[in-house]
Amino acid sequence: MTEMYFKGPGFHMKVPSDWFITSNPQVQAMFVAPTQNGARANLMITLRPLDPSATLESIVATTLETQKKEYPEFVILEQGEYPKGDLIGHQHLYSWYNQQHSAHIVQRQVIFIAGQMLVSITTTRTRTGDADDFDIILTAMLQSFEFD
């Protein structure tokens, strides 16, 4: 896999050079993999201004509560702290069923509070037999993420 360096607002990381990159007002960067044997994957980064009184614990609780309500067959596979330099974030790996696409989805969400910003990184892939390749790539991308 050929990688390239990507510089975003307040962060940088390595990404596969054959992945499509997009953004919009709600998403600072989204990297979309080419479809492999019907399997799909992406990594999305969002940055949001944060109320100074917000805590990581309250954000995680609200996020999980929302996901449990909105995602059919929502199951947490693992969760815990996610250290990145001087920051300690939270990560949770979960699966759910996307009825619109008739597909089981596996996502990992990593959440940090950096200054007055909420940083959310979400990896998404369909749950298929070819998932190992995507998992290796998505994990490498997530591990390469660094704050400036």
In a 13 Å sphere around the CA of 73, the CA atoms on its Cβ side amount to 10
Beta bridge partners of 35: none
Could you report the per-residue pLDDT of 40-98, keeping only the tens digit for each? 899 999 999 999 899 999 999 999 999 999 999 999 999 999 998 888 999 999 999 99
Could you read off the pLDDT of 85-120 as tens digits, one per residue?
888 999 999 999 999 888 899 999 999 999 889 999
Report the distance separating Cα 63 and Cα 19, nearest Å.
Answer: 28
Domains of the chain listed by start with CATH number = 3-147 (3.40.1000.10)
Contact at 8 Å (CB) between 22 and 90? no
pTM of the predicted protein model: 0.91
**pLDDT score, position 1:** 66
